[in-house]
């Protein structure tokens, strides 16, 4: 049986994962509005991946005999200064997710909740990939700078990403 404290913490993370999906969908909408369909597709896939993360936590709560309590999701930011601004925001967002996952791992260890700690190991590894993907995207965007052709090529490459 999952403790009430861990149940509450995971429910907060479920909300944040759904919020993350909403953040990435807002970014996708910006890219769609600015005729960058590859960037839009990439962020739509990222949004779907965050939904899957939320559902992984959701299922875990019920596997452990807990109850999911869904809360309202905050409105994401939708005004951006530049493409670089968006990617930097996405990287910082993933870093925030990592910090939340680490806090849950610390709580699981304090509570000697080895089942939850084991489940969270997947998310710790996933965050390495998430942060690396955003950093790579930022690096590539910085290399492109003001090259229209480079941006078109990057957009085309990003459009090849399959659903998260």
User: Is residue 145, in this structure, part of any structural domain at all?
Assistant: yes
pLDDT for the residue 140:
94
Domain containing 63 — which CATH number?
A: 1.20.1260.10
pLDDT in tens, 27-75: 999 999 999 999 999 999 999 999 999 999 999 999 999 999 999 999 9
SS3 38: helix
User: Is residue 163, in this structure, part of any structural domain at all?
Assistant: no
Q: How many domains does the chain have?
A: 1
What b/e readout covers 73-101, taking b as 16+ CB neighbours within 10 angstroms? eeebeeebeebeebbbbbbebbeebbebb
Quick one: average pLDDT of 11-26? Answer: 98
Is the pLDDT assigned to residue 164 strictly greater than 60?
no
pLDDT for the residue 129:
95
Structural domain of 40: 4-158
pLDDT for the residue 163:
66
User: Is residue 126, in this structure, part of any structural domain at all?
Assistant: yes
pLDDT for the residue 98:
98
CA distance 159 to 25: 15
DSSP code at position 154: H
pLDDT in tens, 69-95: 999 999 999 889 999 999 999 999 999
């Amino acid at each position: 049986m999952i403790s009430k404290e861990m149940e509450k913490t995971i429910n907060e993370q479920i909300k944040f994962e759904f919020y993350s999906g909403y953040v990435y969908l807002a970014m996708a909408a910006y890219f769609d509005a600015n005729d960058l369909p590859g960037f839009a597709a990439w962020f739509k896939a990222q949004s779907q991946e965050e939904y899957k993360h939320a559902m992984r936590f959701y299922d875990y709560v019920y596997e452990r005999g807990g109850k999911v309590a869904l809360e309202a999701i905050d409105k994401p930011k939708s005004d951006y200064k530049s493409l670089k601004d968006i990617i930097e925001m996405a990287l910082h967002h993933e870093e925030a997710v990592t910090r939340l996952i680490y806090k849950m791992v610390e709580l699981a260890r304090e509570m000697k909740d080895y089942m939850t700690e084991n489940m969270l190991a997947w998310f710790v590894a996933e965050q390495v990939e998430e942060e690396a993907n955003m950093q790579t995207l930022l690096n590539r965007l910085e290399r492109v700078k003001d090259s229209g052709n480079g941006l078109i090529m990057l957009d085309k490459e990003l459009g090849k990403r399959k659903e998260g």
